[in-house]
Chains A and B, each alone.
Chain A
Amino acid sequence: MTEKLVVIGAGMASGRMLEHLFETDPNAFEVTLFGAEPRGNYNRIMLSPVLAGEKSYEEIVTHDADWYAAAQVNCRFGETVTKIDRKAKTVSSAKGEMAYDKLVIATGSAPFIIPIAGRDLPGVMAFRDLDDVDTMVATAQKPGAKAVVIGGGLLGLEAAAALRLRGMEVVVLHLMGHLMERQLDPAAGYLLQKELEGRGIKIHCKAQTKAVLGDERAEAVLLEDGTIYPADIVVMAVGIRPETRIATDAGLHVERGIIVNDQMVTSDPDILAIGECVEHENICYGLVAPLYDMAKVAARTLVKKDAAFRPVETATQLKVTGVSLYSAGDFAEAEDREEIVLRDASAGVYKRLVLKDNRILGAVLYGETADGSWFFDMLKKGTDVSEMRDTLIFGQAYQGGGQLDPMAAVAALPDDAEICGCNGVCKGKIVGTIQEKGLTSLDDVRAHTKASASCGSCTGLVEQLMTLTLGDSYNPAAVQPMCGCTDLGHDDVRRLIKAKGLKTIPAVMQELEWKTSCGCAKCRPALNYYLVADWPDEYADDYQSRFINERVHANIQKDGTYSVVPRMWGGVTSSKELRAIADVVDKFDIPTVKVTGGQRIDMLGIRKEDLPAVWSELGKAGFVSGHAYAKGLRTVKTCVGSDWCRFGTQDSTGLGVRIEKFMWGSWTPAKVKMAVSGCPRNCAEATCKDVGVVCVDSGYEIHFAGAAGLDIKGTEVLGLVKSEDEALEVIVALVQMYREQARYLERIYKWARRIGYDEVRRQILDDKGKRKAYYDRFVFSQKFAQVDPWSERVSGKDKHEFKPMATLSLEAAE
């Protein structure tokens, strides 16, 4: 007698299993196939092209009515199985019971719907089956229709791209910092985001969805930060979970998925399970390749032949037309692993291989994925790649050839990219002039184009352009690279950030062809500063790329405690402020109180956990952070000036307070210390500061580029100005010029010596237009910088910084 086989779920896994089963033994079973959808098996992976209108439903059907008829499968589509009775060996649906000898559960997975308000409104949907696709296509017909896709993973992005192709306005909300974070590293995530934004899709990362808004149906999505995106449909694509309810009800062993052994048999020997609903050796699979392996094994198990399912490496490809992206294996970094990175900025290519013991562990490819399967093949086989290591990253076709071009980034610049910021000279002009006039030396280029003739920070780039134009006949001076992650020097990087409009750390690393995937402790703080300084309104400060002092807004001490210096404008204080400081010192048992060289009070030996409470108390007395830890404006030291001193010529205290209130909070390449003295006796010691003012009867003498630390150096005189307003404008413009041009960690005196004191005088004192422009840019950036970091943290920002994650006692641990 033929045995009865019942299959629950008519998806891709069970479809493939039936094919194998009928190939092996077409008469072994009398098969009944239940499917919740009112249709047979189609290729669910190809739903994205159907949504995009690139394929029709008919094209993705894998088993049509004829196939089922020929195979004599009893099809029960549109009928949900509600119960399994293992004792009686029957399954039940709305239409009655059916007996089985062998049962296969292939219920797949269900989309995860985030539990937020409004999730049940019409218009909120998943992207799982053909019905979802039909609903989305219908909505897209409406002119100007808007879609919000929640989830920037594989599925969400495919939906977003397809809906955009259908003409909808699309926003993607993604919880994590970069797209497809499970499959991609930040560098590839950046490239993908850039590509999708180029298609008119808005991408919002780190987006915490709060609610779907609407009365009758979904109208908008609200984020935790208050952002609202209007939406006609909201597609939730945040993940899937194995659909296990029926198995749980039947008392089978279920963890995250239905537990199966290597033969795909569940805890009941007559019940098998395959596909996304199962869990094998702690893993639930969501990609098709392992599911097909399961199908093959299950078919053999059913006809009592040997077969075993083994965990497999999986590779991912995004099915968005025009985007080439491939990721496979494990690409996390670890001690005993090495990485090979290839970036081609002009072609938008990023490739990264992770190796261990000369074997490929993981691969991420973007822009050029033809070698994906070659790498994946070696990954699966564990091929020893030591022989071809040097050329491995170039791919199969290039074995034995190819060299990285250090000048690719400059070669890739468009002709209108500005190379020299001081004189506004673009690449085309420089290359054109070199060719036209037959220039061969840097001095010639400076004379004819003015490029690199002012501050000189673009010299490296100009020299690279000369090498590109003149070939090997030109030998540029050696540039000191920023760090081991790049061949470019600080000046080149700063110029290219502006010229190419690079606005994130991953963007800089990709476009400038960084040799590591996530930089190092040398380049990351520098890049973070350059981006903060260049794009004050657009760049989001990356706190993980800041040194600890700037991250927690206090100064770390040798024993791991911190010191706190509240701001005392111009060094002036009051009994109320002093009393508040005394109270804080007592309350927190602060061991040392010290007056600093910059006329401030320093409280030392505070435990990190106490910092927010200390700031809270200080804040109540009106104190804000003194930025004593910052590469930024530290202090403006003053004398008492004409208010009290019998020699004072101007209100030096007032000017110092005014400068400090105007400039606090600004980030600079290195620390900036200032002073204002009321007469040439110079009690505030203004002539050894980064910027100093010495008041005289006729006005204000502005000084700069002094040092009194590792080096000792008297200031240079910038010039004499008549009014306090003018003094402020000159000082602000000078600091802004320094902010825009200096190398990270380079103090003003070193920067000014490098570019020439006369050049600073020319731009700040003589050229009033330039001075005003610097001043205006500083004022603009202050709009985003003048936020007291202490009160922000008292109100809860970066809470995680100040508390241990857990505390373990011996008892708890045992």
Chain B
Amino acid sequence: MSTANWFEIGKLTDIPRRGARCVDTPIGRIAIFRTATDEVYAIEDRCPHQGGPLSQGIVHGAHVTCPLHNWVFSLESGLAQGADEGAVRTFALKRDGERILMDTTTMLAAAE
């Protein structure tokens, strides 16, 4: 079990409430979400259905609706909701005051 490697990716205020920003990484785009109540989540920016950029969807509660065909995903578990089946990868984030840090070990593991 390797230890977490926290890397600062930005500030909370960089992301609008109920919105998202992207982080480009060697394994592709990761979408960073901020909810109405300031929780942050990171998931793969790619809908398993037809590759839609989830970062561009409408954020409601801790869910996002894909902009292409309205699949809804849980930001926490990455699982598709309702009748749709599928999942996106999630990445660990932590907040230190205004700073948002991402655990890059999961990312590196995925890159190998």
Contacts and interface: CB of A to CB of B under 8 A. Distances in A.
A604 interface: no
B37 A331 contact: yes
B15 A560 contact: no
Interface in B59-86: 59-62, 65, 67-68, 70, 72, 74-77
A805 B16 contact: no
A69 interface: no
Interface residues of A, number: 43
B58 to A, nearest CB: 4
A808 B56 contact: no
A813 B70 CA distance: 33
Contacts of A519: 60
A504 interface: no
A810 B17 CA distance: 29
A40 interface: no
B60 A518 contact: yes
B98 interface: no
A335 to B, nearest CB: 3
A813 B58 contact: no
Given A185-B37, A517-B61, A808-B107, A813 B5 contact: yes
A332 B60 contact: no
A808 B25 contact: yes
B111 A810 contact: yes
B34 to A, nearest CB: 10
B111 to A, nearest CB: 7
Contacts of A181: 38
A202 to B, nearest CB: 23
Interface string B35-67: 111110000000000111100111111100101
Contacts of B37: 185, 331-333
A236 interface: no
A520 B58 CA distance: 8
Contacts of B51: 558-560
Nearest to B59: A544
Contacts of B67: 547-549, 556
B61 A813 contact: no
Q: Give the dominant DSSP class at A's interface.
A: loop
B58 A800 contact: no
A800 B14 contact: yes
B21 A804 contact: yes
B44 to A, nearest CB: 13
Interface in A762-814: 800, 804-810, 812-814
A548 B51 CA distance: 15
A777 to B, nearest CB: 29
Given A331-B37, A518-B60, A808-B23, A177 B17 contact: yes
Interface in B3-21: 5, 7, 9-10, 14-19, 21
B22 A804 contact: yes
A336 B108 contact: no
Contact of B108 (A333, A556, A810): A810
Nearest to A339: B61
Nearest to B79: A335
A804 B23 contact: yes
A65 B100 CA distance: 50
A813 B74 CA distance: 26
B108 A805 contact: no
A186 interface: yes
26 contacts: A181-B38, A186-B36, A331-B37, A332-B38, A333-B62, A335-B75, A335-B77, A518-B18, A518-B36, A518-B61, A520-B60, A520-B65, A521-B65, A543-B16, A544-B16, A544-B59, A545-B58, A560-B53, A800-B21, A804-B23, A806-B10, A807-B23, A807-B25, A808-B25, A808-B104, A808-B107
The 9 closest A-B pairs by CB, nearest first: A335-B76, A521-B65, A813-B104, A805-B21, A332-B37, A544-B18, A548-B56, A521-B58, A560-B53
